[in-house]
C-alpha cells in the first residue's frame, strides 16, 4: 500500500476542516454523493457501505437526505467519494439531464405525467415536491435512484487520493459540490 505524505501545514488545515464536517446539521439537507474511486483493493466493509449507498461504479451519484446514519456512512467511505449539499436548481438540473426511469428511458415531462397519472406536470413539479418533502424519493419507485455521470471535464481536481481540503477530489466539498456536478453533467 502506498502512503501519501502530507505537509504539516496541510495536515493542520485538514484537521480544522474535519471538525467542520462533524458540525454539519444532521437533519433536513439533501446531499449529492459521487463515487470517485473504484473498488480495487478496498476493504469488504467499505465495499458494502458503497453498495448500501447504491454507488456501484465510479462516476455514479445519488441524492440522499442527510441523517445521522447516512452521515456515518459518508464519513466511513470518505476516501472513495465526493459529497456535499446541493440546492434545488442543481437537483432539477440533475433530474433533467441524467434522470432515468425503469427501462432505462430518459426522464421527460411526458414520463412524469404518465407515471404520476397527472399529479405532476413537469420534472420541476416533481423535484419541488421531493425537495419540500411532500413525497419521498424512495416512494417514487419508477425513478432510478442512481445518476450515471460522465467523468468531469478537465479531470478531477488534483488527485483522487487526497482530500478536497488538501487539494484533492475526495471527501466533503460542502456546497462546492455543485461545481463538480456541473462538470460531470
Name which of 164, 172, 168 is nearest 71 in CA terms: 172
Q: Percent of the chain at pLDDT above 90?
A: 5
What local confidence, expressed as pLDDT, does residue 62 receive?
93
What local confidence, expressed as pLDDT, does residue 120 receive?
85
Cell of 81: 467519494
Residue 72 pLDDT class (50, 70, 90 cuts) = confident
What local confidence, expressed as pLDDT, does residue 151 receive?
85
Contact at 8 Å (CB) between 22 and 56? no
For residue 75, what are the CA distances in angstroms to 22, 31, 50, 131? 9, 13, 11, 24
For residue 45, what are the CA distances in angstroms to 29, 32, 72, 121, 168? 26, 21, 13, 42, 24
What local confidence, expressed as pLDDT, does residue 5 receive?
61
Contact at 8 Å (CB) between 110 and 66? no
Residue 69 pLDDT class (50, 70, 90 cuts) = confident
Least confident of 9-18, 50-59, 97-106, 166-175: 9-18
**pLDDT tens, 113-158?**
888 887 888 888 888 888 888 888 888 888 888 898 888 887 777 7
Give the residue carrying C-alpha cell 488545515: 13
Burial of 103 (0-12, 13-18, 19+ CB in 10 A): exposed
Which range has the top average pLDDT, 14-18, 58-62, 167-171? 58-62
Cell of 126: 416533481
SS3 state of residue 182:
helix
List of domains in the chain: 24-88+147-184 (3.30.1390.20), 105-136 (no CATH)
Least confident of 20-24, 98-102, 162-166: 20-24
What local confidence, expressed as pLDDT, does residue 25 receive?
55
Q: Supply angle C-alpha 30, 98, 162, rounded to 5.
A: 60
Alpha carbons within 13 A on the beta-carbon side of 72: 4
More reliable by pLDDT, 60 or 2: 60
Amino acid at each position: 500500500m502506498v502512503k501519501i505524505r502530507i505537509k504539516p501545514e496541510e495536515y493542520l488545515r485538514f484537521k480544522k476542516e474535519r471538525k467542520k464536517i462533524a458540525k454539519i446539521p444532521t437533519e433536513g439537507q439533501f446531499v449529492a454523493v459521487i463515487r470517485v474511486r473504484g473498488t480495487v483493493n478496498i476493504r469488504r466493509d467499505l465495499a458494502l457501505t458503497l453498495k448500501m449507498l447504491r454507488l456501484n461504479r465510479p462516476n455514479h451519484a445519488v441524492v440522499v437526505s442527510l441523517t445521522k446514519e447516512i452521515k456515518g456512512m459518508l464519513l466511513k467511505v470518505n476516501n472513495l467519494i465526493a459529497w456535499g449539499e446541493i440546492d434545488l436548481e442543481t437537483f432539477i438540473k440533475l433530474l433533467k439531464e441524467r434522470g432515468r426511469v425503469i427501462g432505462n428511458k430518459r426522464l421527460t415531462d411526458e414520463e412524469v405525467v404518465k407515471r404520476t397519472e397527472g399529479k405532476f406536470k413537469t420534472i420541476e413539479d416533481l423535484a419541488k415536491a421531493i425537495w419540500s418533502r411532500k413525497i419521498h424519493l424512495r416512494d417514487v419507485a419508477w425513478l432510478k435512484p442512481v445518476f450515471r455521470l460522465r467523468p468531469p471535464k478537465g479531470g478531477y481536481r488534483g488527485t483522487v487520493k487526497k482530500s478536497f481540503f488538501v487539494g484533492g477530489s475526495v471527501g466533503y466539498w460542502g456546497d462546492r459540490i455543485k461545481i463538480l456536478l456541473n462538470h460531470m453533467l
